[in-house]
Amino acid sequence: MPLVPMKQVLDEAAKAGYGVGAYNVNNMEQIQGIMRAASETKSPVIIQASRGALKYTNMVYIKHLAAAAAEDNPGIPIVLHLDHGNGLESCKQAIALGFTSVMMDGSLKEDAKTPTTFEENVAVTKSVVEYAHKFGVTVEGELGTLGGIEDGVGSGIVKLTDPDDAVRFIELTGVDALALAIGTSHGAYKFKSEPKLALDIVNEVVKRIPSVPLVMHGSSSVPPELIAVINEYGGKLEKTMGVPIPSIQEAIKRGIRKINVDTDGRLAMTGAIRKYLSEHLDAFDPRSYFGEAREAVYQTVKSRMIAFGTAGHAGDYEPMTLEDIKKEYNK
């Protein structure tokens, strides 16, 4: 099965009322762990690569890792998505590599730190939509800004999405999906206490434009048990809280269809490697501890696929190609 457009995956999730996890990848072990979870739970999956990941992997490796995942898992709809594109050129680069979806994060300037105006966001996002749709590629936009910084992305300023602006933004840009700022945060150090998400924003946008799937960034749960493993075996992570699974499930009920998860996978891998090396002082074969890291990613992602309701939906529909979606855009 070829890689599929994110538009179809999210539209199908909206029909059945579940969420689809979007999991960041940087290497083979991560993608293998994610795909094992997707295969066992029969879940459609979104594999994300940030601009940092493309730089780390020298770009072309992500393309071929995703192609290998698709070849090895022919019954699973797989989306290859650019996370936090910072301009038309970075999105063009991803499209040329075969990505089936791109995020244009026009909420920030190209430095990925300075917030933009509404008008600037509309202009750059619209330019990406016009370009990407020529190739059948899905476009996710973002309105509002999240707390925290991850992979060099983030202003550190929280600006919740205004529902009126969200409606105008969708109408002006033609985006296929929209990431909302509802109180989530990037990175591992999200909150000191359980966050109160502004889920009324989701309700309002869904009520007014139900046809556009909504996205939650910064949605790792940062389980205390993952922090505890890292610290038990030599780490020094501070106590922190992520977004609780019940809060994510409530957001899905209200209309969130794509849930970004990155930090949880990083924590799981780091804890597994620290534990293995602490218990095997004579270890020197990377396959041994990277194998443990892969298993940790699998366990973490599998639990998210079940919690988000993604499990069991891989065979619900006949996957479309970019050419199929391109025809829809040209109607």
Task: Decide if 282 is catalytic.
Answer: no
**Cβ proximity of 3 and 80 under 8 Å:** yes
Cα–Cα separations (whole angstroms), residue 270 to 148, 175, 265, 274: 20, 36, 9, 6
**Cβ proximity of 202 and 209 under 8 Å:** no
Helix 163-173 and helix 199-208: axis angle, to 10°? 40
Torsion sign, CA atoms 157, 160, 164, 165: positive
**Total Cβ atoms within 10 A of residue 6:** 31
The span from the CA of 292 to the CA of 304, in Å, is 19
Structure tokens at 176: 């296929």
Structure tokens at 59: 């770009």
- CA dihedral 272→278→280→283, nearest 10 degrees, is 80
- CA dihedral 229→226→298→307, nearest 10 degrees, is 150
Choice among 11, 83, 151, 262 that is catalytic: 83
Residues annotated as catalytic are 83
